[in-house]
């Protein structure tokens, strides 16, 4: 029977950390698992990460100081297929929320066992591989929007909508099940990868961001519909074109369906913050 190490896939990881004790222990476990890794003491250009062909990035924000947030956002936006895990000994709830919203896939608090770090890296990479679209798959066209899996982006009339990685994943999840109401908890679990904490409004915030970007390039359409207290439904509707579906949200008296949806979005915008 194969050992746990042999059963694992061989991964390549970049590590931005300056904690020598942590790196010594983790390095031994990574070598035992047969993983390739490179430790760097400062942020590296995204082009270098691409050249290294890494599957994941493990980063301690303390290593980069104030630049860590900018670097995290840059990497997450430029490399949508890269798993990003933050591992830090000092963090507040606000910092963890900020990091996850900027694009980190997971956050680990030090001190931590190296086996947990390895397992979390494996989990993030596994989720990335499950959700990664085939490069030759045909684009998904919904309303005026073309969703391109080979470019991790959505386009309207050839113009990029400018989605971040997380926003793109959210749009793909909803668009893959048109007409189906997906609960907030399920959205969070499938896009963020773990259970949603009580009171977390990340799903609502990201839905609002995606809506605003879609409306900017496709103003005559409404794509994502709210089911208050439940979740969201993806159902492209042209202004004044389609009849409302049965069992969907009631319309606001004296307004068109598109106007009603935008009124609801305004209410959500007032109830959520970035």
The pLDDT-based confidence of 181 (bands split at 50, 70, 90) is very high
Residue 47 near residue 78 (C-beta atoms within 8 A) = no
Task: Give the integer Cα–Cα distance in Å for 125 and 119.
Answer: 10
Give me the pLDDT at residue 171, please.
93
As a whole number, mean pLDDT of residues 45-61 equals 80
As a whole number, mean pLDDT of residues 208-216 equals 94
Please determine, looking at this structure, whether the domain spanning 4-131 carries the CATH number 3.40.190.10: no
Residue intervals of the chain classified under CATH 1.10.10.10 are 140-271
The pLDDT-based confidence of 206 (bands split at 50, 70, 90) is very high
Cα dihedral: 231, 196, 97, 170 (round 10) = -40
Residue intervals of the chain classified under CATH 3.40.50.2300 are 4-131
Model pLDDT for residues 224-271, shown as the tens digit of each residue: 999 998 999 999 998 755 443 433 344 333 344 555 555 555 555 444
Task: Give the integer Cα–Cα distance in Å for 62 and 64.
Answer: 5
pLDDT over 90, % of the chain: 30
E-strand ranges in the chain read 12-16, 36-40, 56-59, 83-88, 106-109, 140-142, 145-148, 153-156, 159-160, 181-183, 221-227, 231-238
pLDDT exceeds cutoff 50 at 1 = no
Residue 176 near residue 270 (C-beta atoms within 8 A) = no
Please determine, looking at this structure, whether the domain spanning 140-271 carries the CATH number 1.10.3720.10: no
Radius of gyration of the chain (CA): 21
Give me the pLDDT at residue 43, please.
63
Query: Which is more confidently placed, 126 or 147?
Result: 147
- pTM for the whole structure: 0.51
pLDDT exceeds cutoff 60 at 194 = yes
If 0-12 CB within 10 Å is exposed, 13-18 middle and 19+ buried, where does residue 108 land?
Answer: middle
Task: Give the integer Cα–Cα distance in Å for 158 and 25.
Answer: 49
């Amino acid at each position: 029977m194969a050992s746990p190490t042999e059963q694992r896939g061989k991964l390549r990881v970049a590590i931005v950390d300056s904690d020598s004790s942590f790196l010594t222990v983790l390095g031994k476990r990574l070598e035992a698992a047969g993983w390739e890794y490179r430790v760097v003491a400062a942020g590296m250009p995204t082009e270098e990460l691409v050249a290294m062909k890494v599957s994941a990035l493990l980063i301690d924000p303390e290593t980069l100081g104030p630049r860590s947030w900018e670097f995290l956002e840059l990497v997450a936006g430029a490399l949508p297929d890269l798993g990003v895990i933050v591992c830090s000994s000092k963090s507040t709830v606000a910092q963890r929320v900020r990091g996850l919203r900027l694009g980190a896939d997971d956050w680990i608090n030090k001190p931590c066992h190296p086996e947990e770090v390895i397992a979390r890296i494996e989990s993030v990479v596994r989720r990335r591989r499950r959700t990664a679209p085939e490069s030759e798959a045909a684009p998904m066209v919904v309303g005026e929007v073309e969703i391109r899996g080979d470019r991790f982006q959505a386009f309207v009339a050839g113009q990029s909508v400018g989605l971040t990685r997380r926003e793109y994943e959210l749009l793909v999840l909803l668009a893959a099940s048109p007409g189906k109401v997906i609960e907030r908890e399920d959205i969070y679990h499938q896009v963020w990868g773990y259970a949603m904490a009580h009171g977390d409004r990340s799903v609502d915030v990201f839905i609002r961001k995606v809506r605003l970007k879609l409306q900017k390039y496709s103003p005559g359409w409404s794509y994502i519909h709210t089911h208050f207290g439940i979740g969201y439904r993806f159902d492209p509707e042209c202004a004044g074109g389609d009849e409302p579906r049965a069992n969907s949200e009631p319309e606001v008296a004296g307004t068109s369906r598109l106007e009603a949806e935008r009124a609801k979005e305004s209410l959500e915008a007032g109830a959520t913050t970035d």
